[in-house]
Amino acid sequence: MSIPLLPKPAKLVVGLFMKEKGLIHDLTNALVEKFGSIDLVSAWFPFDYTTYYEPEMGKPLFRRMLAFKALVERRSITEKKIITNDLELKFSINQKRRVNIDPGYLVHEHFVLATGKNYAHRIYLDKGIYADLTLIYTKGAFQKLPWTYPDYADKRMLAYLHRVRDKYIEDIKRIGRAHP
């Protein structure tokens, strides 16, 4: 018989991509207001893996990643996705998004994104939101899966997520020392 245990908290990671890099200041402020202060920010990455978003957002598109200081309950990702969907609408013009915001969480063993789209490998959470197991961590590195989006398999992204994972491990150790 398995004994249910609550999982350790997770590191909240939010991916954004947009054409207008100047939006990042207002977007970051809005996200900080909702989720607290930021721990690690990625460099800008070109988002040139698909043309899917170009009719709505234009081109070229750029991605930036943010990791937040406060650790979160994994189940909170549903509410975080609803909040980021609302922010996408807030920053839209003429019903066209100017930014795509993807919240996710990172723990020792994997990186999960929240999405409103169902697919065979996605697990329903609540309120129309699904969990997408995006990367697993094994053998000392993140490993992509057959459905991992190419931008999340990019070596620059993986290097950033490795830094976030290192910080997460430090945070978990710190919490352990604070709560013997």
Instruction: Sketch out the chain's domains with CATH numbers.
Output: 10-178 (3.30.70)
pLDDT at 39 over 70: yes
Which amino acid, residue 151? D
Q: Do the Cβ atoms of 61 and 19 come closer than 8 Å? A: yes
Q: Which two tokens stand for residue 78?
A: 């549903």
Q: Greater confidence, 179 or 37?
A: 37
Q: Do the Cβ atoms of 78 and 100 come closer than 8 Å? A: no
- As to burial, measured by CB atoms within 10 angstroms (0-12 exposed, 13-18 middle, 19+ buried), residue 30 is middle
pLDDT at 178: 66
Residues above pLDDT 90, as percent of the chain: 93
